[in-house]
Amino acid sequence: MIEKAGTGERVYLAIKTFLLAESDYRPGERVDIGDLSRRVGASASPVRAALHRMAGERLLVSHQGEGFSFPRLSEPALSDLYQWNAALLVNALRAGPARALPPAPEIAVSAPLARLEALFAVLAAQSDNVEVEWAVAGVSDRLRRVRRAEIVLVPDFGDEVAELHRLFGDGDSGAIRTTMVAYHRRRLRLVPTLVRHMHGLADREPR
């Protein structure tokens, strides 16, 4: 089968969107390459190339010729990821030039997760450092499946995002920083419940 020009990028984006935003794989589970090939309408070669690319981004784990799996998830690892995200965003605000924040991106209210990631991207851009922007984008990718669990476990997830969006409108960097810290502290308290939920072990509502 001869792949058309641009197939690699199309396959990569389709697979990445499915695996991170739609699939119900558990941490540590192997990815079904045949299913992905049928899903995106491509041969195994571009599918494997896409999965290798995702492994390089630490979104998957490559098993040296034996396929790919999702990374295992532990409480310390998830806590570290949340703390890294918080440090990147808070430092971006502190390091940014003394100017008003850019307008908050307009994203549909029905997509709170997309809005949250867009707001984080704008905060990262405040650093005027492309490495920080790439780092925040990478963390958002690695946390996307966990944030899907947050939507289930945090009843006011949408309200949190709406409040952050409102603070952008006010242009108050101090208030945004305070809200960002509170947001991440809440996630850190929720880490044990999130990990159990991701592994299919949730047997009670979070306190």
pLDDT, tens digit, 9 for 90 and up, residues 128-175: 899 999 999 999 999 999 999 999 999 999 999 988 888 887 777 888
Backbone angles phi, psi at 41, to 5 degrees: 65, 45
The whole-number average pLDDT for the span 169-196 is 90
Residue ranges in the chain assigned as alpha helix (H): 7-17, 33-40, 44-56, 75-95, 112-125, 130-153, 157-170, 173-198
Q: CA 54 to CA 20: how far, in whole Å?
A: 11
pLDDT score at 164: 87
Give the pLDDT confidence score for residue 167 in this predicted structure: 86
Residue 56 makes CB contacts below 8 A (sequence gap 6+) with none
Nearest alpha-carbon partner for 147 in 178, 186, 201, 109: 186
Q: Is the pLDDT of residue 98 over 70?
A: no
Closest CA to 15 of 31, 36, 32: 36
The confidence score (pLDDT) of residue 143 equals 97
d(CA 24, CA 203): 18
Q: What is the mean pLDDT of residues 3-14?
A: 78
Per-residue pLDDT at 108 exceeds 70: no
Encode pLDDT of 29-75 as tens digits: 999 999 999 999 999 999 999 999 999 999 999 998 789 999 999 99
- What is the structure's pLDDT at 93? 84
Q: What is the pLDDT of residue 100?
A: 52
pLDDT at 165: 84
13 Cβ neighbours under 8 A, 6+ residues apart: none
